Structure 1
Amino acid sequence: MLSLLWKGIQLETSMGSAEFTSMVATLVSMSQGVTLLLAKSLLIFFDYERPYYNEYSLGFSGVLFAMKVVANAQSDEYTSVHGLMVPTRYAAWAELILIQMFVPGVSFLGHLGGILAGLLYLRLKASFSGPSPLTQLMRGFRHALNWPLRLVKSLLRTRPRITGRGTTGGRNARDTLQRWRCQACTFDNSGRLNICEMCGTGHADDGPSSPVPTSDIHDLSLEELRRRRIQRFG
């Protein structure tokens, strides 16, 4: 399991979860298929009394050997296999021999089938220009599983409010349409007013607004207009 964790982190980080899942599923099938062919070949060419494919075996180590082949295929470095320095790309072969020497009860054909499955996977992957069909299927399956979560997020997502007087705050559409914005100070005035409440500029629908003198609103100095703008916008 520690070996699976170490190889899984390297491979899934480099290729993504969907492709990693499809690779593992492919290697499981291929390693078992190659092991079965090897066992059948032993029965045909060496005439074993008991067919090897009738023996019981359990474990994930064949797939781990295949993952090691995939992870180390493009490496030009050297690695230590139980104290023996070998090229990293051939580490799986060295480990196959050493494990069989120190632990003779393990499945030699299972490990050998995993290595051959890894080489076959690399050959098939090189022949495809794009993602494999199984990878596309895994991505579609993941997309389908994430659909309810994306739906909930879209329902809970809050849209940004448009700040400014007269445009938000629960006003109805009729009141929003009736309001007009002063072109001099950008203050939103009520539709019932023809003169800007802030700076005294008149409202004109057909052209730029211009100051309109009235008896109720006196001309504002620039300092007073600046003070009102600061008071409004903070």
Structure 2
Amino acid sequence: MDRGSGRRVSRGMLPLLAFHAINEYYRLERKPPVTAGLLVANTLVYLRPGFLDHVLPALDEVWFNPHLVLKHKDLKRFILSAFYHMGESHLVYNMMSLLWKGIQLETSMGSIEFASMVAALLGMSQGITLLLAKALLLFFDYERAYYYEHAVGFSGVLFGMKVVLNSRSDNYTYVHGLIVPSRYAAWAELILIQMFVPGVSFLGHLGGILAGILYLRIKNFYSGLDPLTTILRSLTDVVRWPLRFLRDLSCFRRPRISGRGTVGGSRTGRDVSSLWRCPACTFDNSAWLNVCEMCGTRRRRDGLSSTRPLNQHRDLSMEEVRRLRIERFGG
């Protein structure tokens, strides 16, 4: 069991994870940003690169231990333990599961609601695990196995996500070689992992399943968005407001910037519908203007041609048009 805090080097599985994640994202039309952020966050915490090595706490400081969490009211252990992993295989297995579940859920739910769900599942799975360990101690005096156990990993959240993903499915799925109804896949995986994989946290996985069920019950209770999603959406709107303001401001100003059309010649590559040509001097004007910028001829109401100039009652001669062009372009 690795309790070190130093930086780690990949043994070959992380490049495979990176290749698989890039391949999956490449084929998606809409890239789920929250899923990508969670993948990167978990991987960086495991690798501990130089700029994070002195910032992140050591593994010994973030073990999820019910006794220490309750005794010291240690929120650091309560939250950060989900983002730490024991080894490369532990990380890669969880991240592959996160990639598959996250893409499906975030694509169908939307990024804000998905982020709200992940935060809720994280808090509820850790809280339920804590309550279960304390209950076993108080009512059954069963302390050694669960109340003092040390656990890390994103598995609790992943079990909750599996419950949410399969909650309305009537299909069947494979769970380690067994065909089971999809809505019971999380329970089957819980039992099979406990039977054949030593050293896993039974309460942590069970807490994740119960958190998923509780999340669905709460979700059904609200007819609209849940409070956490509403808060996240409001915060997102606040962050995006300056960007929207600048974008709208640029869009508002863009039509006011005179396009300065061409004099005669071709209009290739331009939006012809946004220009009108003055028949007196053949200057192409912006559709936002009603008077020719070159000679002052007023545009007709049909927007296709122009009438005589405002201050003139005769057609311009070729010499006058040439003089106006020279004055216009300073040449």
Is the pair's TM-score, using the shorter chain for normalization, greater than 0.5? yes
| Aligned: 1:187 with 2:299 | no
Q: Does 1:36 align with 2:130?
A: yes
Give the one of 171, 175, 179 matched to 1:77.
Answer: 171
1:163 matches 2:275: yes
The answer for unaligned runs of 5 or more in structure 1 is: 199-234
Shift of 1:156: 3.9
Measured after TM superposition, the shift of residue 144 of structure 1 is 2.1
**Aligned partner of residue 79 in structure 1, secondary structure:** strand
SS in 2 for 1:134: helix
Match of 1:27 in 2: 121
| 1:40–1:51 CA contact under 8 A, matched in 2 | no
Instruction: For 1:119 and 1:140, locate their aligned partners in 2 and report how far apart those are by CA, in whole Å.
Output: 26
What percentage of aligned pairs have identical amino acids?
58
Counterpart residue number, 2:207: 113
- Mapping 1:59-70, distance limit 5 Å: 59-70=153-164
Q: How many residues align?
A: 195
Aligned ranges 1:137-176 → 2 under 5 Å: 137-157=231-251, 158-159=254-255, 162-164=274-276, 165=278, 168=286
Match of 1:58 in 2: 152
Is residue 39–residue 109 contact of structure 1 (8 Å, CA) maintained in 2? yes
Measure, in 1, the Cα distance between the counterparts of 2:190 and 2:146: 19
Shift of 1:142: 1.6
Distance apart, 1:103 and its partner CA: 1.1
| Preserved contact between residue 75 and residue 89 of structure 1 (Cα < 8 Å) | yes
State the SS of the aligned residue for 2:179: strand
Q: Which has the larger radius of gyration?
A: 1
Aligned residue in 2 for 1:89? 183
Stretch deviating more after TM superposition (134-143 or 180-189): 180-189
Asked whether the 8 Å contact 2:194–2:200 carries over to 1, the reply is yes
So what's the TM-score if we normalise by structure 2? 0.53
| 8 Å CA contact 2:174, 2:180 repeated in 1 | yes
Distance 1:143 1:9 in 2: 23
Confirm or deny: 8 A CA contact 1:43 1:51 kept in the other structure: no
Instruction: Judge conservation of contact 1:70–1:118 (CA < 8 Å) in 2.
Output: yes
Q: Deviations over 1:176-219 (max 9, x none)?
A: 9x754467984242112235x39xxxxxxxxxxxxxxxxxxxxx
Using the TM superposition, give the Cα deviation of residue 70 of structure 1 relative to its aligned residue in structure 2, in angstroms. 0.1
C-alpha displacement of 1:152: 3.5
**Relative to 1, partners in 2 of residues 1:72 and 1:172: Cα closer, same or farther, differing over 3 Å?**
closer
Partner SS state of residue 193, structure 2: helix
Which whole-Å CA distance do the structure 1 matches of 2:301 and 2:197 have between them?
A: 87
Q: Report the alpha carbon displacement of residue 46 of structure 1 after superposing the two structures with TM.
A: 1.3
Counterpart among 84, 93, 104 of residue 198 in structure 2: 104
Provide the alpha-carbon RMSD of the alignment: 3.0
Greater mean deviation of Cα atoms: 137-146 or 44-53: 44-53
Q: Deviations over 1:46-77 (max 9, x none)?
A: 11354833322111101100000000000000
Distance 1:192 1:88, change over 3 A: same
Any unmatched runs of 5+ in structure 2?
A: 1-94, 260-273, 317-331
